[in-house]
Every structure is written in C-alpha cells, then in structure tokens.
Structure 1
C-alpha cells in the first residue's frame, strides 16, 4: 500500500457511486485501505453489508439526488454507475442510469466544492455513434466535461471487463472467455481490444486521482492498465 505523500497532510474524503458494481466493489476496498483517505462516503440505494470505521453510507434516491445534496467536504468523486440494456429493460432506463445519474452527481458535487470527478464510460464511447449504448456513453462524457469548477475530470474507457459479477451476463461471460483465448493473437492494432480486469480499472482510477493531472483526461483501456501497473501494491 502506498505511504501517504509528504505533501498530503490532511486526509481526503472520497465519494463513490456504484460501489456494489463490478469495478466499484474493488474500488471501495482500495479506498478504505488507502491512508490518504480519512473518509469514504458511498451513495447507495440500499445499505451495504460492508462495515469499516472510515466508511459512511448514504442511502439515496438517485431520481431525487438533489434532495441529498450538497455533498460538501468531498475532494474526489468516483462514479462507477452503469448498467446494460438487458438489465435496464428499456432505452429510457438505460439512459437514466448511464447519463442522467452520473451527470446529476457531477453537477451537485461540483456545487459542493469537489475537486475531481472520475467517471467510467466504455471503449467506443462516441456521441455521434449509430449504436445507442456508445452514443449515451459519449454524450455523458461531453456533458460532464463541460462542468466548470473541477480541477480535473478523468474519464475511463475500459474494454470488456473481467471479474465476478453478481448478475448473470451470459453474453459478456462468453465474450470474456473467447477474448481470453484469443489474447495471444490480440497484438498490434487489436491490442486495445484486450479485456481488462475490473480490479485494474479500480487501481487505475485511484492512481489517476493522485496523478496531479489537470483538465479533462481520457484514459483508454490500455492506458488504464498502465496506470494500474504504476504501483502494483495499490
């Protein structure tokens, strides 16, 4: 585990949305283990079983997130919210989870004085895409990037995520197995499409938060892997 930076005298406060998800659960563990954070707040629809002296759980209604604001005293906001079309059941619900909620959180946190916003989207995110999934991801990237006041906004675009999921995603599981078999062949122009471990995405997010970067920073999947390897102890 990292030792606290000599320049970091006051423990920071992190706010996490989506802490029960594939990446979020790994991120929560890393944040609670990191001495640079004195408090880790979690926005959740229902209380998590996880207990820790530095963990604060805020049970919220994401459809009325402004009623729970302002989120003051928070420096770093990690947004791991996301769903699939199958789980959402409709384009409307998907857009709500992957666009409306992350954008609302970003705006409210900025109003509360947050310094950084770290958002997971997906490889292929493009507001001009013909594919609804990629288009929504691109639209939320653009909208969040326009929010003033943040010192830095980090956007992470992972490829297919590998890890143990709570829900059954047969298609993604099958794709993960196939790409793992094809991994030795995924070189050159195909290298960016290699799957990535969810824990590596979490590691990359944590490292990016302390990288000192300013402005809007896009992290492609291969870049996230490099960030995760920067300090393997994280």
Structure 2
C-alpha cells in the first residue's frame, strides 16, 4: 500500500540512522516523521523532522497519527549516568510513544529490543528490555514486531571498548558461531534496519518476535 506515513524514534542511533534511510527511499511511504532531541542534519522531501521534549510527548500527540511506528531508542549507562536515567530512555519513552501512537490510530509498532530480554533476569540490562517488551505487548496494535539482535556491528558516535573487542572476535573466528551458537553471531545495524523495514511491509497480525538469526536471514 503506497502513501503510508512512518514515524521513527531513535533516528540518530546505529540502527535508526540506517532505518531512516531505508524509509526515506521506500516507495511505500510518502512521509517519514522523525522525533528527535536535536536536528539530524539531513534534508529530504519526505522527512518531517520534529524536535521534541521526550518528557512532554503528550503535548505533541498529533504527530503520532501515522501508519507504522519504528522505535530504536536506547542508550548506555555511560551516557545516561544512572540506571534510572537509562530506564527512562530505554523503557519509559518507547512505552509513551507506543501508547500515543496506538491512541492516534497507528497500525504497526516495530521495536528494537535485545537478544537476552527477560523481565525476570537478575541482570539489569536484559531485565530492563524484558520489562519494555512486557509493556509494549499490552498496547493494542494490529501488528507488533519485536527485534532481538545479538551484538551490533557498525560505526557509532561513541567508542565502546567492549563492543569493539567482541566484534573483533566475531569477525575473525566466525566459524565458532554456527549451529546452536548461531544466535550469538554479531549482526550489522544495517541488517537489523533492513529487516525492520521488510517486516513492516507484511501484514502479520498480532505479536512476532524476531530472534537475531532470523533477522540475519531477512537482512
């Protein structure tokens, strides 16, 4: 169906910046709304850039009257400084976006989560992502798609030593990540973005979880 409107949150991140380009170049969308804290720095006839206060999203609820919502919001404890601040960005903001979009008639919600998301995990990060998934599942959309990538590869604005070291291992000895270990294979942010775009063009009702190995196959 041509003439759709997409909304993207997290358009400046590793996955989001790739996804934004896919959406802008896609024939299926006439307009792409990007909700951001600061200017993205690009121009495109389809791009509707909205600089917002994420703590006051309810004041801009009309911008969530779209067809498909793509959420790639996320941060690190290094940038957020505290777990509370990280939770706000990774959980609270996506949930508010989803609720507003649902109330404004959006049909599809596509979310970047994490491979080990588990609301009962004793570890903060997977527990946080698991709680996010729980909240998103409760919000009514025709289609809800949750993507659980493994370690992400690609150029980030910030340097992450642990991520770089792990990526080096994955790329130098890829034969280790086959069979039952395939799900741990590192994945390019661009691959995740492409899988999200492709999934949005299919009418798959209800909830679908996309594990990392399936994302690899799609992308």
TM-score (norm 1): 0.91
Q: How does 1:181-200 map to 2 (within 5 A)?
A: 181-200=172-191
Corresponding position of 1:113:
105
The whole-number CA distance in structure 2 between the counterparts of 1:47 and 1:78 is: 18
The whole-number CA distance in structure 2 between the counterparts of 1:20 and 1:103 is: 19
Deviation string, structure 1 residues 69-97 (Cα, Å, up to 9, x no partner): 13354000000000112221111011001
Question: Which of residues 105, 121, 130 is equivalent to 2:122?
Answer: 130
The whole-number CA distance in structure 1 between the counterparts of 2:104 and 2:69 is: 11
Question: Which of residues 93, 100, 119 is equivalent to 1:101?
Answer: 93
Deviation string, structure 1 residues 19-75 (Cα, Å, up to 9, x no partner): 000000000001011011000000000111110001000000011111111335400
Asked if 1 retains the 8 angstrom alpha-carbon contact of 2:65 and 2:101, the reply is: no
The whole-number CA distance in structure 2 between the counterparts of 1:103 and 1:61 is: 15
Corresponding position of 2:206:
215
Corresponding position of 2:84:
92
Asked if 1 retains the 8 angstrom alpha-carbon contact of 2:108 and 2:200, the reply is: yes
1:70 correspondence with 2:62: yes
Question: Which of residues 39, 47, 50 is equivalent to 1:47?
Answer: 39
Q: Which runs of 4+ in 1 moved over 4 A?
A: none
TM-score (norm 2): 0.98
Corresponding position of 1:232:
none
Asked if 2 retains the 8 angstrom alpha-carbon contact of 1:70 and 1:111, the reply is: no
Alignment coverage as a number of residue pairs: 219
The whole-number CA distance in structure 2 between the counterparts of 1:180 and 1:129 is: 29
Deviation at 1:177, TM superposition (A): 0.9
Question: Which of residues 181, 193, 208 is equivalent to 1:202?
Answer: 193
Question: Which of residues 156, 159, 162 is equivalent to 1:168?
Answer: 159
The whole-number CA distance in structure 2 between the counterparts of 1:171 and 1:90 is: 19
The whole-number CA distance in structure 2 between the counterparts of 1:209 and 1:146 is: 19
Cα RMSD for the two superposed structures:
0.9
Of 15-24 and 65-74, deviating more is 65-74
The whole-number CA distance in structure 2 between the counterparts of 1:71 and 1:117 is: 15
The whole-number CA distance in structure 1 between the counterparts of 2:118 and 2:65 is: 33
